Structure formats: structure tokens, C-alpha cells
Structure 1
């Protein structure tokens, strides 16, 4: 019996999984925090002059992709929360006979998040390449031609892959196979086909990003230790000391997304052993709790790492908050600070 028939029989023999409310809550919280974090990153890039360099601009591009992911997943969470359970069950059973069926919200959401997630992987890798080459060449490596190549690759490749998935009609309701309460690859297809498309439209690139960024991190650290130099000495003002935080970006993506990667490899194992990938045990449910928060949280984590932990950016944000509270313009606040220092 084919894996497709096995999966279809399961749809008729059992009700679909109803996700615990906590998973929806974690996903909703993660999406909202990332939207706020993205706004903070955009604002600091526009307002904090000392942090406005090429590396920060690349972070803005990454944040655009992460913002799209957060908004898309938020739409998926709301869609799932507002579903009518009986209609949802009937939809799953209908997909047994017609796997092309999917609602427009699910389709659009899966297309947007497929594109944005892939773009996020590419921009993460590009940031690490930029840091490495800027350190080695001792000059701003992202010249015009490099920036054009960055944008063509980081936006163009995900766009091609997304349109390929749309053309083959594989985007839609995934029944939480390696995902949270949002849509991605249709779970009604043959199990090996589901796995292959998940690898092509996300998980394969995700694992490649893990290894690529980790390799660049080790090369950068080795280079810096070998030269016994830090960023402010090596960079000729093209990188600040605080920009050393950017080489930690691979830790962020691994910590936030590794639970989903583990679930993907569990699905591969189940497919190889002819098990139903739509069923998951308590351990996988625990991973789902972590993934529900982590998959949408990169913009929030980057805000903490590159805004809150960045001394210059943090001090500027705090100064502007105090200025706003006191209803003073930034120039008035600066004059007041200088006057206070002269008195002291």
C-alpha cells in the first residue's frame, strides 16, 4: 500500500490533531514580539547615526524577511484559532479524494512565509560573508556590485523556489507536519513527496545555513585570534566594536529553529520506516512547543542582540525615550546634558 493511501486512511479513521492553546499563545506572542522588534530595528537604523553602516543595512534586509515571516505566521495562527472544527475535519477528509483543495488564506500565507523564510536564510549567510570579507580586506567589502549580487541572490532565489512550489501546487494545509499552527507544504501528498518539497522550500536551505554560518563563525574567530585584534582595530571604521555581535547570528538561527529541524529529520525517519508522519508523540509535541515560539522569533532575537546589547544603540534609544517623556527635542536634550556636565 502506498504512503499516500496510508495517510488517507488515517484521515478517515481519526480526527485531526487539535493543538493545545499554549502553542497558539506561544506562536501569537512570538509573532507580535518579532513585529515590535522589527520596528525597533528599522527605527534605530534610521535614527542612530553611529550604527548606520553597511552591516546594519544588511540586518535591515534580514529584518524585512523576518517581519514577513512573523506577519505570515501570525495570519496562520489567527486562521487556525478562528477555524470551525467540524468544517476543518471535513476539509481534511475531502483532501483524501482531492489533494488540490486548499483555502486562499492558507495558500497565500504559505507562499509568503516560504519566500520570506528562504530569504532570511540567505541574508543570514550574506551577513557572515560580509563580516568575514570586511575583516580580511580591511575595507568596506559591500561595494555596489556586491550589493546588487546580494539582492539578486537573497530575493531572487527564494522567489524562484516559491514560484516553483506554486506551479506544482504543493502549498497549502500541512497538518502540522514539521510546522506549527500555520500552512506550508500540503500534507495530503505522498509522504516522500512532502519531505522532498519541504527540503527544497526550506529545511534543506536551513540545514545548509547552519553549517555555512558556523563555518564562517569559526573562520572569523580563528582569524581574529590569530591576529590578536578586535573589530575596532582591524576595520578602519567600517566595523564598530559592537558589530562583533553579528558573528553570533548563527547562534540565533540555530537556537530558534533547531526544534523544527529535529522534527523534520524525525519525519524523514518515519517516512523511511513507512510510519505516518502526521502522527507525533509526546517528545515531538514538546519540540512543537519550542518551534511555535522559535520559528517566528528571529526579528525579536535580533532586536535584543543588535539593539539592546549594542551600547551605542541602547544609549541612543534610552536618550530618545527620556527626551520624549520630557517633551524636549533631541537638540534641547543635548544642550541640557552639556549644561549639566559643565555645572558638575
Structure 2
């Protein structure tokens, strides 16, 4: 197959995508750090989110190197970067689907034991399958320069290979397309179940108010985690569009706007998760702000810090009670 004309990556496109990579690295580190700092936030859903953040962190770092270099040949660092991004990107797909499956079993099937028992299999699949695919692709010399036809400067599957479409599917696109189908179905089923649970609790509030066990499933409903599929699709769709345009041979795949959207979509996952599950989650945000505030104000006395922490704890407790009173459903401890 003749080598396609390289898609030019302008300097401003590089800058935008590099900023997206930097934000994703920062966001992933923040998700991991908050999990490590506060033991009461170490729920299983957040643990899965941490594994997703590790994959997204690797993706952002590898993509940033590729965007910075804008490869033009099958050099050793092109292949290395392509291998790392292939593994981490595919792993991110699997962890995203693993979180959705976990939440579905936990909330809809009401089986925390079954959901927790799957975590080991999530690790085996989400790390093992991407590693096997990547090793096979590297061993067969399929990873390399792709003329930025389905990337933004970084390397992936060599565009010169006759079976490059097959390997693009195996190393990412087939899992991406499956996720577009599986994730919305699980997400809709979870939301329907939560809506029905809220309606039932509201109707029988006088009875259920005396039974703490009746609150257990809604309390586990980490609602913001169900937004991960939406974030995933909104970010990844541009990569899929460019892949489809490559298959049809359309020059529209070189459109600068589409190239930028593709670059941001592939690199912003870590930042998006941080915004949703750290910055937009009140208890986590308040703790983080308090910690930063304490570090920046050396003159503050220990007693003053303790007093403020106590006031904050009482405020969260009061807010939690008010939420229970209003909805009839106990929210999860950390609101995810």
C-alpha cells in the first residue's frame, strides 16, 4: 500500500493537545493522591477509578511525547511511545467498562459480594489483555509511524502495513466500538434502577426510615461514577470519526478542528475524571481545599486548624442528614 500523505500538525494544535495532556496528568495524579491521603475514601468504586486513572496517566504521558515530537518515521522512540500508548489506551477502555459492570451488579443486581469478587478478574482482563495485544503488535512489528492519519503526531499502527486496519481494530478500535454499545446500555439500566429505588423509598419513607438495611443499595449508588461512560463517549467519538474517514479515504480526516478534537479527546480523560470526582465532589473538594489552606498558612495555630476541621465535619454531617430527610435515600459516604 502506498504511504498516505501525512496529516500536518500545526504548532497551535500541538500546544492545545499538550495542554490537554498536562491537565490529564495533573488530574490523574490528583485522583490517585486523594485516594491515598484519606482512607475513608477507599471504596471499591474509587479503587477502580484509581486504576483507570493510572491507565489514563500513562496514556497522557505517552501521547504528550508523541505530540511534542510529531514523528515522521519508524524510529525506536516512535515504536516505544506507540507501544505504551497502545497498552494504556486499551487498558483505559477495559477499566471504563469494568467500572460500569461493577456498578451494574452492585446497584441493579444488588450483590456487593458478587461485584467485589469480580475485581480480580477486572485486573486480569484490564491489564492482561492490553499487554498481550501490545506484545503481539510489537513482536510482529505492527506499531510505528501512521502519518497522523489516526493520531495527532504520535505513533500507533504503521500505516504502511497491508493489514493496518485489522491491527487498528485489535489494538483499540474494536474495544472502543464495543464500549459505545455496552456502556450506554449499562448506564441506562443503572439510572432506571436508581430512579425506581428513589420512587419506592419516597413512597414508603415512614416504614423504611426505621430500617437502615433498606438504605444500603441506594447508599452504594455512586451516581457520579455512572457519568464515566458519558465522558468516555464524548471524548472518544472524535477518534472514531477519524478512523471511519480513514477507511473511506476521505480528506476530511485532516480537518484541523477534527484533529484538535481528536487530540483532546484521547488525552483529556484523566482531567475529566478529576473534575467530576475530585473538584465537583463536595467532601473531597473541601478536604483538599482545607489541606492546601493549612499548608499555605504557617501562622495558623493547631487549635484553630482542629476547630475548623471539626466545624467542617459537623457541616458535612448536617448536610448528609438534610439530604436523607429530603430524598428519603442515604447518599454514599463520600458522594464519590
TM-score interval for Structure 1 and Structure 2 normalised by the shorter chain: 0.7 to 0.9
Q: CA deviation at 1:269?
A: 2.0
8 A Cα contact 1:138 1:235, kept in partner: no
The 3 A distance-change label for structure 1 pair 329 and 143 is farther
Q: Residues 44-193 of structure 1 correspond to what in structure 2 (within 5 A)?
A: 44-80=34-70, 88=72, 91=73, 102-141=74-113, 145-190=117-162, 193=163
3-state secondary structure, aligned to 2:118: helix
**Cα distance in 2, alignment partners of residues 255 and 230 from structure 1:** 32
Who is 2:195 aligned against?
Answer: 225
**Cα distance in 1, alignment partners of residues 173 and 224 from structure 2:** 26
* Residue number among 257, 266, 280 corresponding to 1:295 in the alignment: 266
Q: CA deviation at 1:141?
A: 3.9
The 3 A distance-change label for structure 1 pair 164 and 237 is same
TM-score, with length taken from structure 1: 0.80
Q: CA deviation at 1:284?
A: 3.4
**Cα distance in 2, alignment partners of residues 233 and 181 from structure 1:** 54
Who is 1:254 aligned against?
Answer: 233
3-state secondary structure, aligned to 2:52: helix
* Residue number among 23, 27, 40 corresponding to 2:30 in the alignment: 40
**Cα distance in 2, alignment partners of residues 333 and 169 from structure 1:** 58
**Cα distance in 1, alignment partners of residues 92 and 267 from structure 2:** 11
Who is 1:94 aligned against?
Answer: none
Who is 1:205 aligned against?
Answer: 175
Q: CA deviation at 1:136?
A: 3.2
Cα RMSD (Å): 2.8
Who is 2:290 aligned against?
Answer: 319
Q: CA deviation at 1:336?
A: 4.4
Who is 2:164 aligned against?
Answer: 194
Q: CA deviation at 1:189?
A: 2.1
Equivalences, count: 303
8 A Cα contact 1:69 1:117, kept in partner: yes
Q: Residues 11-26 of structure 1 correspond to what in structure 2 (within 5 A)?
A: 16-26=6-16
8 A Cα contact 1:224 1:230, kept in partner: no
**Cα distance in 2, alignment partners of residues 213 and 326 from structure 1:** 45
3-state secondary structure, aligned to 2:102: helix
**Cα distance in 2, alignment partners of residues 54 and 130 from structure 1:** 9
3-state secondary structure, aligned to 2:77: helix
What whole-Å deviation, never above 9, does each CA across 1:170-214 have from its counterpart, x for those lacking one? 101110122111000101223xx2211111111111111121111
3-state secondary structure, aligned to 1:178: coil
Q: CA deviation at 1:293?
A: 1.4
Q: What are structure 1's unaligned runs of at least 5 residues?
A: 92-101, 271-276
**Cα distance in 1, alignment partners of residues 303 and 93 from structure 2:** 40
3-state secondary structure, aligned to 2:216: coil
